[in-house]
Structure 1
Amino acid sequence: MLQQLLLFLLLSLPPTLSLNQDGLFLLQAKLQLSDPQNALSDWNHRDATPCNWTAVTCDAATGGVATLDFSNLQLSGPVPATTLCRLPSLASLNFSYNNLNATLPAAAFSACAALLHLDLSQNLLSGAIPATLPDSLVTLDLSCNNFSGDIPASFGQLRQLQSLSLVSNLLAGTLPSSLGNISTLKILRLAYNTFDAGPIPKEFGNLKNLEELWLAGCSLVGPIPPSLGRLSNLLNLDLSQNNLVGDIPEQLVSGLRNIVQIELYENSLSGALPRAAFTNLANLERFDASTNELTGTIPEELCGLKKLGSLNLYENKLEGSLPETIVKSLNLYELKLFNNSLTGSLPSGLGKNSKLQSLDVSYNRFSGEIPARLCDGGALEELILIYNSFSGRIPESLEECKSLRRVRLGNNNFSGVVPEGLWGLPHLYLLELVYNSLSGSISNSISGAWNLSMLLISGNKFSGSIPEGVGELGNLEKFVANNNSLTGRIPKSVFRLSQLDRLVLGDNQLFGEIPVGVGGCKKLNELDLANNRLGGSIPKELGDLPVLNYLDLSGNQFSGEIPIELQKLKPDLLNLSNNQLSGVIPPLYANENYRKSFLGNPGLCKALSGLCPSLGGESEGKSRKYAWIFRFIFVLAGIVLIVGVAWFYFKFRDFKKMKKGFHFSKWRSFHKLGFSEFEIIKLLSEDNVIGSGASGKVYKVALSNGELVAVKKLWRATKMGNESVDSEKDGFEVEVETLGKIRHKNIVRLWCCCNSKDSKLLVYEYMPNGSLADLLHNSKKSLLDWPTRYKIAIDAAEGLSYLHHDCVPSIVHRDVKSSNILLDDEFGAKVADFGVAKIFKGANQGAESMSVIAGSYGYIAPEYAYTLRVNEKSDIYSFGVVILELVTGKLPLDPEYGENDLVKWVQSTLDQKGLDEVIDPTLDIQFREEISKVLSVGLHCTNSLPITRPSMRGVVKKLKEVTELPKSLSGKLSSPYFQEEASDIDHEGSLV
């Protein structure tokens, strides 16, 4: 009624206000929209015509409004379709990338007689898709909304439609066969909807003009209809992530003569690949049929296509050899055949005629030598040949391949000396040569590999000393060289590597002392120097390594006393056996739990009773035998007495505590503890509370041994985000199930737990700097300069990457946010709070439906909120929001954003005001280039389409490369450089 009154007033204005009729209609439409950015502020009744207004373009001949482009204006409210359809010349209407959030009436656009192009993509529209649309439509894009229900069968009557895109909605039903009646259609995109299981309509074969068919993630079942082979103009066919079965039809491949890209990965296709049919696909550039059940051999005709650039046939059951015709593919840049049963040798000319970038043939039965000309094109970045039977020498040509980033040659039969230049390639990120028969020494030229993060050479015949140049590798995280014949001393420079996480040099012939300065490796998690000839004393500095969790110095010649400082470690593995240690054992370790850690040290025999075997005679043995019998009787009586007294004490004297539910029999430990669980309960006073929430309270507890722990006391009913967990596993059980099993330097450590009738306790390591949210959004923000924030981002990303890629089964956190990222005394970040985590135990780890939403507003991925379907991409979106917090210093939700969130605010501010308006003004501008690159990673993570987000492994890689990228890439926030690399795949395990 109000809108009608306003329109009446507008139409009643005096003749001096001469705005034409189209302008009046637009002003009426504006009244129905919310415009928080005042993007339409220049729309007014003072102008004679609206042709110069924002978003308006008029027809040059008639002067009528022909095009309305409202994209990226942050508008919300309903689509004013009825009003806009009164514009007689309106041919194009674009509302993409806004916040429109209403339903569309069934006949919303039926009156738009001249409308040719309608784009409502990337909004929040819901309800059914209008069944009545103008017959004149040429393009219709409703992608990335919340539309539900079936695709209207009436779409088949749009006989002029050339492009139809309904990607990423909540559409149900099956694909309507009536779409096969739109003979003019060139583009059909229906991917990523919640369709019911159904086949591909054979009527789609009637779309003779179709150039792109995108049906990924559409719940398709059954075979691929041969009728699709009639689509002779098709350039791109994507049927991935469905449940299609059967062979690839001969008619399909023989008919698609103009095809550029075919994607069939993650289906259930079986049978052999068609052979002669590929001769008709002269224009094929990309073929992906990975993760299926394909058998037989790889067709020579497919490999010989001259325009073929990418061939992905990994994770099938293919046999035979790689055809020599692959050398004829002049544009080949990607070849991935891992996880098959392929045999024979790789063609010797592979890489000679094309700029090959990525070669992955892992987990096959290939043999022979590495082709010498793989890098002739100067573009090879990835060479992954693990778990085959390759032999011979590593070709010297690879030492000139400056583009190489990842080389994985492990578990083969390579021999000879590694080419000297290969050690020092400047862009090399990963060098893995494990379990071959390689010999020679590690070249000092390795100092030139400034980007090297992982050096894995165990299980070979390397000799000589470790070069000082290893200490120049400032990015080195893992140095694993056990089971070789290395000699000499450990270079002092190795312990200057501040990023080093694993140092494994066991089973070599190293001698000398552990160099002074080992305390500089603050990130060292594993130190294995077992079975060498090392001597001297054990450095007390080892006790100052905050995350050292595995320490093995066994089988050496260490002497002197065990440093008392080692008590600060509490490692999962401590092995000092078979040395020449003497003196006393530190009290923390002087118990049965650590007995095996000290065996074979004669000087420690008196330090722990029974540590050394008896050397007495037979009579002495008999007397000791009787002594042990009497001792056993007295000990048994003592135990009975103690148990009785303890039972009486706890049953009556501490009855109130028992009533509260802390049953000591319910304690469960996950690490070797240096404190008593009983001590925890005594210290849970209100004076020690440091946090409180819907699930319970968190206490800071100072133990008698000087250690600090954090204790979370959960109420009986825990919460998941904003919902109860009654319908899913209890949050306590989930946290125990996950944190109790996993070990990682960037995952908060769960010491122990107690599950009783009324209350539940979780005891964690204490993180003195609290949560990231606490520091970032209060007065202590100044402590977080950019290098610290960057370090936090990498630490948290590595923790999540471990959950997604290295845990078996994988774990999705489901509540990633800044308040669940905790900081230690050096601002090292650890992911915490696994109360709503989801463990994917099935073989198919795709999206899984939840009964309720877990997570926190502002961090929840759009598709999770709409569909309750969760996978690792939901965590990646949430982590992207955390990155945006680090860059902007802003909260994920704030009144400043209006109806938007931080993601939308960053996108719009970047477009309208530029980078400097997004970056937290408290950050030093000298880091502007790095900040812009990290922001790019965050924006990539928060892409609205889950399929386009990187993996967490990819996120870690991109973040680490931020300080290594060429300056020419700075500021390119949408650069393809930040697109996920196809190499970040699960089959490569924890080494990637």
Structure 2
Amino acid sequence: MQYQSIKLFLSLLFYFLYCFSPVISLNGDSQVLIRVKSDQLHDSDGKLSNWVTTSDQSPCNWTGITCDAQNKYVVGVDLSRLGISGGFPNGFCRIRTLRNLTLTDNSFKGALSSLSLSPCSHLQVLELSSNEFNGELPDLSREFGSLHVLDLSNNNFSGDIPTSFGRFPALKVLNLGGNSLSGSLPSFLSNLSELTRLELGYNPFKPSSLPSSLGNLSKLENLWVPDANLVGEIPDSIGQLVSLTNLDLSDNFLSGKIPYTIAGLRSIEQIELFNNQLSGELPESLVNLTTLLRFDVSQNNLTGHLSQNVASMSLESLNLNDNHFTGEIPEILASNPNLVQLKLFNNSFSGKLPENLGKICDLVDFDVSTNDFTGELPQFLCHRNKLQNLVIFNNRFSGKLPESYGECKPLYYVRMANNKLSGEVSSKFWGLPELEFLEMFNNNFEGPISPSISTARNLTHLLISGNNFKGQIPSLVCSLRQLLFFDLSQNLFFGEVPSCVTQLNKLEKLDLHQNMFTGRLPGKLNLLIALTELNLSNNRFTGNIPPELGNLPVLTHLDLSNNMLTGEIPVELTKLNLNQFNISHNKLYGKVPSGFEYQFVSSLSGNPDLCSPNLKPLPPCPRPKHEIVYFASVLAICAILMLASLLWSFKIKSDFVSKPKRRWKVTTFQRVGFSEEDICPNLTEQNLIGSGASGQVYRVKLKSGQTVAVKRLWGGNLKPESETVFKSETEILGRIRHGNIVKLLMCCSGEEFRILVYEYMENGSLGDVLHGGGAALLDWHTRFTIALGAAKGLAYLHHDCVPAIVHRDVKSNNILLDTDMVPRVADLGLAKTLQRGAGEIDGAMSRVAGTYGYIAPEYAYTLKVNEKSDIYSFGIILMELITGKRPNDACFGENKDIVKWVTEAALASPEVKTTENTSSCCRDLRKLVDPRMMPSTSDYEEIDKVLNIAVLCTSSFPFNRPSMRRVVELLKVKHHKLESPK
């Protein structure tokens, strides 16, 4: 009886504990969570405000908390993207039922020691990516045997990968990418036989080979090791990765051939091997990879022939550019129905392209430029009417442009320069409605420009020089209001230039030289306010030079030579800041206006009736007869003055001889009407307008009325930093000519000083206007114009300068604004040239260059410099323009900058896009947008588009940031689509 009573009591006790233990557990979990929030978390935005004690004591509905569906105990804590900071909150691990701890994309920082992690050994998922953890990776004990996912990517971890990382039997995901790991790539990672994802890219490892034991990872689906200093050959064991869908070994130093065993990758969908040093032929075994969707081995030094069997793959995108491939493209490539992208540029391919290429596939992107292809172009490239990019320049293609290309409605980017193409271009091709860029120079095309070109209203570049085109320019070309570059030079055009060409007010270059144009120069050329280059030479123009040419604000190149122009040289031309000028071999006469420098004398030759009193070898101008009457009296007065001056000269002779001449070296980069003697006396305290790290800036108004900005560098040649800035500014700015880059007019160096003279920007810097009380003057249209202009200036540095130039200190204070708020990129004292082969400037720099708040995150700890650093800084400027706030405004809260603040606000809206293909949406941006510019409803739509571009530019990963050229295109596309008539 007693035994039965005891048994009953134990049964009741067990039932009580079973029923109420979840309640007890939840009560304890709540207390743990609240204690961790109080002691270990900094929640400045109040995202965890609902973590409070309630009557039911259940945390299951709290932000970021996941509970077991049946037993209701806490199994997961996910605080991703909540803007939380602090050290590693190991207090969470006191919840013994916790299996998932995710802290991704916050501001947690500090070292991650083995001791601090020890309470968390029961976790299955530990995700700490995109934080600010540093120091060495923790050496984890064997108690972490249940770990399935370990993601420590995008932090600042350094040193070696601990050997303990090779002892996790259940680990399926290991992501250490985007850190500063500097040890060797260890072979013991091949012991993780359950791995499905191994991601180690973007770490500065010591030169390491892929381990031959890599094939042990038979369950691996994603092998992601770009930019990790890999060397040696790809091991044959790669073929044992039968589950692999993505192979990315790009941006390394791999050499040798692609192994034949790659045929074992039966599940592969993407292979990326670009930018390595691989060589040899592509193995025929690739024919067996029939599930391959994309094969990308671009930017290598691969050599050899393209195997015919490669072409039988079910390719969607074939990217073999920037290699040393040779041989012909097999015809079987045209049998691939899945091909969307074909990029073979910068190789040595030869022979004809497959005749039926494009006939059965939806080809969108086609680029075979800079090879040695011959024969006619395939007529079916746009058979499915999907082709958008047609790029074939620098080959030996011949024959006519296929008529079928005129039916290719989506085509918007065409480059076919430097070939041997001939015949007339169809009217349908001239009038393709989406065409934006048409480059056909240096071929043998003939016939007229069709009036149908008026339907190509998006055209920005029309470059058809060096052909046999003829006829008159159709007046309908004036409807191309987006045109920026108009080059018809070296053809057989004749007749008068349509006067309506002056309506193309966005035009930056107009080049019609070496044709047979007649008649007068178009009037009202001053309406082309964006024009930087005008070349009308080697034609048959008559009449006078229009004086309004002198009113073109940014014109730097003017060539009217070898025509039949008459009359005098307009004095208005002296107002231009030209670096190239030529009006030689015309029929001009009269006195050359004062203000022309000796450097332009040769540009006046071939006009025998020109004269000048001081420009030799031009003859002096004859004196008018009435001047002879005064000559004798003037001569007498001069004699008297000469005697007086002779006496005075004797008095000061000894002083003049005793004082040494100041030894100044002066270099002029533009045509200027002043000298160093006009500048130096004005460098006074009263004219000081600014002071920076490299020197002081003065505003100097000259006697001529011109105002210039003068930078006097600290310490002259006695300070190495000043010498570096001086050399950089003079070497780089001295050779740059762009409407959105500040003009360096002159430099002057002496033993004790260095000065740089620039054009003066009346509205100062963008930073001063935006943050100094002038922001109300900047409506959205003005801000957008500033953004686009600055982007064009940076794109010129990155893409059009040879070698390319990286600014390294892009910020709003280095964007200057003229009277019309046109931006100029300034202060290139820290700029460096970029050697494309190296991919960066002189390896790692000895110090961080740039300004706090604008420095790209990878630059701060790797000191590697490339154009992506400038792009990040430009993204900050876009955010400044939208928000009106400084990069590190105090209102963001502790440990938060403008990128994190804007990104969090953007991510808070489900409509936000972080890719280029951004669709229009109508989000409420009032919390982000600077209210001082009072945007309209339509403005908000464009602001939303630009905001997405800013987010792209400030991506944590440099390779995700678009190029500056792409940024310009995106800005133009967004603006154009919003401005176009409905």
The TM-score with structure 1 as length reference comes to 0.89
Give the CA deviation at 1:916.
3.1
Cross-structure match for 2:935: 924
- Alignment of 1:954 with 2:950, yes or no, is no
Check conservation: 1:19, 1:46, Cα contact below 8 A: no
Q: How does 1:414-433 map to 2 (within 5 A)?
A: 414-433=421-440
Alpha-carbon distance change, 834 to 199 in structure 1, aligned in 2, over 3 angstroms = same
Q: 2:849 aligns with which of 849, 854, 859?
A: 854
Cross-structure match for 2:633: none
Alpha-carbon distance change, 228 to 643 in structure 1, aligned in 2, over 3 angstroms = farther
Check conservation: 2:584, 2:602, Cα contact below 8 A: yes
CA distance in 2, matches of 1:788, 1:606: 45
Q: How does 1:289-688 map to 2 (within 5 A)?
A: 289-306=297-314, 308-589=315-596, 591-605=597-611, 611=617, 663-688=662-687
Deviations 1:55-102 (Å, cap 9, x if unpaired)? 111112222111111011100111111x11111111111111101111
CA distance in 2, matches of 1:647, 1:411: 66
Give the CA deviation at 1:648.
7.2
CA distance in 2, matches of 1:231, 1:643: 94
CA distance in 1, matches of 2:578, 2:873: 32
Cross-structure match for 2:748: 754
Give the CA deviation at 1:111.
3.1
Check conservation: 1:583, 1:604, Cα contact below 8 A: yes
Q: Which has the larger radius of gyration?
A: 2
CA distance in 2, matches of 1:395, 1:936: 39
Q: 1:963 aligns with which of 972, 975, 978?
A: 975
Q: 2:887 aligns with which of 889, 892, 899?
A: 892
- Alignment of 1:131 with 2:126, yes or no, is no
CA distance in 2, matches of 1:542, 1:241: 50
Q: How does 1:817-856 map to 2 (within 5 A)?
A: 817-841=811-835, 843-846=837-840, 848-856=843-851
- Alignment of 1:225 with 2:235, yes or no, is yes
Name the SS for the 1:583 alignment partner: strand
- Alignment of 1:144 with 2:154, yes or no, is yes
Deviations 1:731-783 (Å, cap 9, x if unpaired)? 22222221122222211111111223332211011111111111111322122
Q: 1:194 aligns with which of 180, 190, 204?
A: 204
Name which of structure 1's ranges 103-112 and 509-518 shifts more when overlaid on structure 2.
Answer: 103-112
- Give structure 1 stretches of 5+ with no counterpart: 1-15, 615-641, 971-992
Check conservation: 2:274, 2:300, Cα contact below 8 A: yes
Alpha-carbon distance change, 580 to 643 in structure 1, aligned in 2, over 3 angstroms = farther
- One-letter code aligned to 1:845: G
Name the SS for the 1:342 alignment partner: strand
Say what the alpha-carbon RMSD is for the aligned residues: 2.4
Q: 1:238 aligns with which of 230, 248, 251?
A: 248
Check conservation: 1:533, 1:556, Cα contact below 8 A: yes
Alpha-carbon distance change, 903 to 389 in structure 1, aligned in 2, over 3 angstroms = same
Give the CA deviation at 1:842.
6.6
CA distance in 1, matches of 2:29, 2:104: 22
Check conservation: 2:26, 2:73, Cα contact below 8 A: no
Check conservation: 1:562, 1:581, Cα contact below 8 A: yes
Give the CA deviation at 1:930.
1.2
- One-letter code aligned to 2:76: T
Work out the number of aligned pairs and report it. 911
- One-letter code aligned to 2:816: L
CA distance in 1, matches of 2:664, 2:814: 30
Give the CA deviation at 1:967.
10
Give the CA deviation at 1:651.
7.0
CA distance in 1, matches of 2:147, 2:61: 26
Give the CA deviation at 1:725.
6.8
Name the SS for the 2:280 alignment partner: strand
Give the CA deviation at 1:818.
0.5
Alpha-carbon distance change, 649 to 682 in structure 1, aligned in 2, over 3 angstroms = farther
- One-letter code aligned to 2:766: L
Cross-structure match for 1:703: 702
Cross-structure match for 2:105: 97
Cross-structure match for 1:981: none
Report sequence identity in percent.
47
CA distance in 2, matches of 1:92, 1:750: 59
Name the SS for the 1:96 alignment partner: coil
Give the CA deviation at 1:506.
0.3
Alpha-carbon distance change, 868 to 372 in structure 1, aligned in 2, over 3 angstroms = same
CA distance in 1, matches of 2:507, 2:112: 57
CA distance in 2, matches of 1:259, 1:702: 68
Cross-structure match for 1:990: none
CA distance in 2, matches of 1:17, 1:758: 80
CA distance in 1, matches of 2:547, 2:538: 20
Cross-structure match for 1:867: 862
Alpha-carbon distance change, 462 to 105 in structure 1, aligned in 2, over 3 angstroms = same
CA distance in 1, matches of 2:96, 2:24: 22
Name the SS for the 1:826 alignment partner: coil
CA distance in 2, matches of 1:643, 1:286: 85
The TM-score with structure 2 as length reference comes to 0.90
Q: 1:912 aligns with which of 895, 908, 913?
A: 908
Alpha-carbon distance change, 881 to 184 in structure 1, aligned in 2, over 3 angstroms = same
Check conservation: 2:196, 2:221, Cα contact below 8 A: yes
Name the SS for the 2:287 alignment partner: helix
- One-letter code aligned to 1:274: P
Cross-structure match for 1:55: 64
CA distance in 2, matches of 1:647, 1:126: 72
Name the SS for the 1:343 alignment partner: strand
Name the SS for the 2:239 alignment partner: helix
CA distance in 2, matches of 1:555, 1:667: 33
- Give structure 2 stretches of 5+ with no counterpart: 1-22, 621-647, 910-923
- Alignment of 1:74 with 2:109, yes or no, is no
Give the CA deviation at 1:222.
1.0
- One-letter code aligned to 1:261: Q
Give the CA deviation at 1:140.
1.4
Give the CA deviation at 1:672.
2.9
CA distance in 1, matches of 2:300, 2:704: 57
Check conservation: 2:373, 2:395, Cα contact below 8 A: yes
Cross-structure match for 2:116: 108
- One-letter code aligned to 1:916: R
Give the CA deviation at 1:652.
5.5
- Alignment of 1:940 with 2:952, yes or no, is yes
Alpha-carbon distance change, 18 to 97 in structure 1, aligned in 2, over 3 angstroms = closer
- One-letter code aligned to 2:879: L
Name which of structure 1's ranges 430-439 and 289-298 shifts more when overlaid on structure 2.
Answer: 289-298
